[in-house]
Structure 1
């Protein structure tokens, strides 16, 4: 994803000379933190980055928070913003995709069967974004429902307000397993 983000900024920002680079305020999903930090360092103007869960960012923008660029992890939140008139309808573009992965702490010997996560968890918890608000959590719930595991797993969740928090729980071995975006997992050496 990192290699695509400079293209995003190039597409989203006006073409200006170096002296005219505007200040830009970006509201983005927490999962974009590292990549957008890197892109911002390469931009000649001032960049203010605000990260959080997609639902949190969307609600802040709807409440009037000033943002020049909005990058969310779920189309449902962007549609919500568009429908409420908080973003220009003709400016909404689907840019990137990702996939979910099941993670464990790097030094863990847990080898779960993705079809029987409840068996692998025992009494422990599965870290994931909030099932009704965080895009990665919504997608994780859809996967667990589609595989017939939701009823067994739901009581064993450690739900977080964004995907990076779920990643951190597993990286610190506070939970034995988690469901996060692939790009987040690849950026964290403390998980596998």
Structure 2
């Protein structure tokens, strides 16, 4: 996605390093502080992000997931330096308020009080903060059970909500296209964003099967 976005930007005489990405992995409250949320540095080089993802292993689960932790992190990052968009990819809805309380009790509140996640939060509260700063959340769901709430998240923030079929033969291509388009749309802004997306589609997209 970096290479493709950079190529389109160069064609349009826009600096190819006009954007940075940070990868963030959220899990659930059966993962401890160092695993419930893992994040890369902000990067302009794809190899560094690839190296980060190579360190990630699957764990957690537990039905609805701690999307609230991922959105909380986005708000923390925005307080340090303005971010312009969030791309959310997941296979399960966020925890309800009751689930946050119940699941945190697995390790007990005394454990969480000693971490950076000492204060319980709820995904809607974090979403409202992002919305207040006009930060769109593009929500791509990979399982049907997440469809309703992911589309609501996108709609509330002015983002894009769509199915991402990672199990299809073209799943990786779909992921690349979805993320790259939102990078280009964001870099181009209201004046050039749609034109950059159109240029990308004309050059790279051939349809999915």
For the criterion TM > 0.5, the same-fold answer is no
More strand by share: 1
Which is bigger in relative contact order (C-alpha 8 A, separation at least 6)?
1
- Band the TM-score falls in, shorter-chain normalisation: under 0.3
TM-score between both structures, scaled by the size of structure 1: 0.27
